[in-house]
Amino acid sequence: MDLGILAFGGYLPQSRLQRTEIAKMHGWYNPGLKGLAKGERAIANWDEDAITMAVEAARDCLKGQDRSSISAVFMASTSFPFEDRQNAGVVAEALNLKSQLMTLDLAASQRAGSSGLSVALQAANGSGAPILFTASEQRQTKAASPQEMTYGDGAAAVLVGKGNVVARFVGSHTEAADFVDHFRGSGHDYDYAWEERWLRDEGYLKIVPEAINAVLEKTGVAAGDINTFCFPAAMKRVAGMLAKKTGLNETAVADNLQATCGETGAAHPVVMLVHALETAKPGDKILVTGFGQGCDALIFETTDAIKTLAPRTAISGHLARRRADSNYARFLTVNGLVTMEEGIRAEVDKQTGLSTHYRNRDMAQRMIGGCCKECGTLQFPKSNVCVNPNCGAIGTQEDHAFADKKARLNSFTSDRLTYSPDPPAHYGMIQFEDGGRLMADFTDIDPDQDLQVGMAMKLMFRVKDHDKNRGFRRYFWKATPDNDYQGTAPAEAAE
């Protein structure tokens, strides 16, 4: 059986900050920013982070897949929410995967995404069972910095293993070199970057060709046979220079997505790979590289199975699911770059009782409710008594997953008295199509879009609140409009 990619998925936040707004604000201080003031960058909402984005990319990846067969979850990032807690473990919980699996975090380099993918492929080849690999990034940037312009937030996921792969793994090569073009020291929030010319001339143009030439020689693939070359760097024209230097066709150079989402750090090699797979034809060869203290180079060849993979949103779908954002002050606020007066309603101790958190993890992180085995009534949360007034059976509740269920909006409130990091606070009642209701917080509400009773909703894994005193983030599921859903509205909502 072939080893390779069995499925893929992606996620980009809905909000896209217009780079012209950054240049307007800081052009007086750093005129050089005006040269970067084109296009837009994906920015995470206040309740998003590397974990929540990884979960959404993984959910997209696992559409139509057997989750019970997954043997491990690997996650790569340089912006993990937790330095000492298994971030991949939170992702596995949110996906409602079995507990008999390995979870592993990979970090400390922009090459964590490509190196992690290599590790996942090697492990899957040895175990024979599929491994879910995710890469996600939400890096902080200083105001008026070039990084604020070029960085973006996002995630991608691939399921790797043996079987009916959509892309066969051809081979890989790594060149390790402690070349430091930028770094982020322990206890520091922002990257410290050296000049771009140094990175281009001594880094990209000397180290990357070594890795590319080596993997081509190792696999016996001719440079001219590469159909897509994924080079995850924001710098213009460098990918074309590398293609010329290594004999790759100029037409093979893939869009680096700088104009539409920005460079998503350790996740970007996988983001570009997923984007390439969306339009690849059987037999296409894709070369993906990752740079950071060396260079990884991996080659994949797509198969006929790519034509029958279940539809997914991937990267293109999330590029289309966008909302232009010109509110730079909001971006500064939700990223903690300015200190706002939050008011006395925000002065609440948000300590999480870790024992209670653990006991309720199935409900809070896995979104597990109940189904009465006597009458089939669904309910959330699960309880000892069936909520059906015609049943009322005791002790008949079986676990039932709600995270991927479609829903409709029954009622809603937009509240400016309740504290929210991004006011107003939107919340209300949603009703699942198969039964069950949930009073939920809402997220990603477009200020120009009116909420309407009966509109389609879906659940997304998000940060519920952030205990800044202790550094703990509590996660839960929130509802958001589902513009792609065309199901039947529940009777109560329709009325």
- Give percent above pLDDT 90 in the chain: 88
Q: What is the pLDDT of residues 200-211, one digit of tens each?
A: 999 999 999 999
> Which residues lie closer than 8 Å to 337 by C-beta, 6 or more apart?
140, 143, 331
Averaged pLDDT, 105-118: 97
Kindly tell me if the per-residue pLDDT of 85 is higher than 60: yes
* Residue 481 pLDDT: 95
Which pLDDT does position 297 carry in this prediction?
98
Return the pLDDT at 225: 98
Our CA angle for 44, 326, 188, nearest 5°, is: 45
Whole-number Å distance between alpha carbons of 250 and 226: 10
Handedness of CA 402, 404, 407, 409 (dihedral sign): positive
Q: Does residue 341 or residue 475 have the better pLDDT?
A: 475
pLDDT in tens, 421-473: 889 999 999 999 989 999 999 999 988 878 999 999 999 999 999 988 899 99
Q: What is the structure's pLDDT at 345?
A: 81
pLDDT above 80: residue 487:
no
Residue 165 has pLDDT above 60, yes or no: yes
**Average pLDDT in the 298-303 region?**
98
For residue range 333-382, list pLDDT tens digits in order: 988 888 888 888 888 888 899 999 999 999 999 999 999 999 999 999 99
- Which strands make up the sheet holding 323-325, listed edge to edge? 40-42, 15-18, 323-325
> Looking at the predicted structure, is the pLDDT value of residue 275 above 70?
yes
The H-or-E segment that residue 357 falls in is helix 354-359
Is 70 exceeded by the pLDDT of residue 236? yes
d(CA 378, CA 465): 27
Bridge pairing between strands 131-137 and 72-76: parallel
Whether residue 39 contacts residue 194, with contact meaning beta carbons closer than 8 Å, is answered with no
Does residue 213 surpass a pLDDT of 50? Answer: yes
Q: What CA–CA distance (Å, rounded) separates 439 from 422?
A: 19
Distance of alpha carbon 120 from alpha carbon 75, whole angstroms: 10
Question: φ and ψ at 31, to 5 degrees?
Answer: -60, -25
Which pair of structure tokens corresponds to residue 241? 């220079």
- pLDDT at 8 > cutoff 90: yes
Residue ranges and CATH numbers for the domains of the chain are: 3-334 (3.40.47.10), 344-367+402-494 (no CATH)
Kindly give the residue spans of alpha helices, DSSP state H, lying in 183-313. 196-198, 205-219, 238-246, 268-279
Q: Are 427 and 443 in contact (CB under 8 A)?
A: no
Q: Is the pLDDT of residue 403 over 70?
A: yes
DSSP string, 413-448: EEESSS--SSSSEEEEEEEETTS-EEEEEB-S--TT
Whole-angstrom CA distances from 436 to 378, 388, 412, 430 are 5, 10, 17, 9
Shortest CA distance to 334 belongs to which of 473, 140, 154? 140
What would the two tokens of residue 33 be?
A: 């920013």
Q: Cα(first)–Cα(last) distance of the chain, in Å?
A: 54
pLDDT of residue 88: 98
Number of helices and strands in the chain (H, E): 14, 22
Burial class (CB in 10 A: 0-12, 13-18, 19+), 406: middle
pTM equals 0.95
Q: What average pLDDT does the segment 117-131 reach?
A: 95
pLDDT at site 4: 98
pLDDT tens per residue across span 217-235: 999 999 999 999 999 999 9
Mean pLDDT for the stretch of residues 134-142: 96
